Structure formats: structure tokens, C-alpha cells
Structure 1
Amino acid sequence: MESREIVLKHEKGLHLRPAGKVCDLALKFQSRTEMKVGTGVYNLKSMLSVLSAQVADGTKMEIVCSGPDEREALASICALLEHLDENGSEVV
């Protein structure tokens, strides 16, 4: 299991478009991928789960991945969440 704490820095929070991008990315990995926000645990492979977290700008979260490709999954998901533009796309 690999995990990392991050703070979402996206003015509009984790709304529909960035949530979709996170889900699409998580689905590419075999590992279980979760986001812990407060006392809640949310499946990053489920759009409804991610949206139900109601993550706003400045929210502290822990991304947890466990499985055969956990390191790659964690690095990719955190990179996406840490570099979102106003449309929810990753800024490179």
C-alpha cells in the first residue's frame, strides 16, 4: 500500500470535469485507488463516489493505492490532482 497527502488547489474544487479525469485515470490501473477526506473513504474509480466527497479548494486529502501498480497509480493520480487548470485538465 502506498499513500500520499495532498491539498487540492483548484478554485472550483473537484467538480464534474476534473472528477471524470481522475476516474478515467484511476480506471487505467489494476490497483485499488481511494481518496480519504475527513472520515470518508471514496473510490477513485467511481464518479459518484468522487463527487460525493464534495472536495473544495484547499481540502486536505490522502490518496491511497494498493495493488500491483500502486506506485505508478499514486504518482499519476497525485500529479493530476496537484496540477489542474480551471477546466479540470492537467497543466504540464
Structure 2
Amino acid sequence: MVEKNYTVIEKSGIHARPATMLVQASTKFKSDVNLVFNGKSVNLKSIMGVMALGIPNGSVITIVTSGPDENEALATLTETIKNQGLGE
């Protein structure tokens, strides 16, 4: 299991467009991928789960990956978050 924290810098937070990009990036992997915010953990492969968290700008989120390609999954999600200007 590997995990990394990010601070959301997208001014609208994690709304529909960024949530969709994160879900699409995570579904490419066999590993379990979870998004943790405010003590709640959801499957990052579920758009409804991510949207239900209502993550605003300035929030600290954690992505946790566990499985055979966990490091690759975390690296890809980190790249997606930074390239799309979602977090740092």
C-alpha cells in the first residue's frame, strides 16, 4: 500500500470535470485506489463516490493505492493531478 497527500488548488474544488479525469485515470489499474477526505474513504473508480465527498478548494486529500500496480497507479494519478492543475 502506498499513499500521498495533495492540496486541492482548483478554485472550484474537485467537481464533475476533475472527478471524471481522476476516475478515468484510476480505472486503468488493477490495484484498489481510494480517495480519502475528511476521514471518509471512497473508491476512486466510482464517480458517484468522489462527487459525494464535495471536496472544496484548499482541502487536503489522500490517494491510497494497494495492489499489483500500486506504484504505477499512484504515479499516474499524481501526474494527472499536477498536469490538470488540480493539486500540489
Give the TM-score of the pair, scaled to structure 2: 0.91
SS in 1 for 2:61: strand
SS in 1 for 2:18: helix
- Mean Cα deviation higher: 75-84 or 15-24: 75-84
Question: How far 1:43 sits from its partner (Å)?
Answer: 0.8
Question: How far 1:82 sits from its partner (Å)?
Answer: 2.9
Residue type at the aligned position of 1:83: N
Contact preservation (8 Å) 1:43, 1:49:
yes
Question: How far 1:60 sits from its partner (Å)?
Answer: 0.2
Instruction: Tell me the residue number matched to 1:78.
Output: 78
Of all paired residues, the percent bearing the same amino acid is 30
Corresponding pairs, count: 86
Task: Please list every run of 5 or more consecutive structure 1 residues that lacks an aligned counterpart in the other structure.
Answer: none
Give the TM-score of the pair, scaled to structure 1: 0.87
Task: Please list every run of 5 or more consecutive structure 2 residues that lacks an aligned counterpart in the other structure.
Answer: none
CA distance in 2, matches of 1:58, 1:80: 18
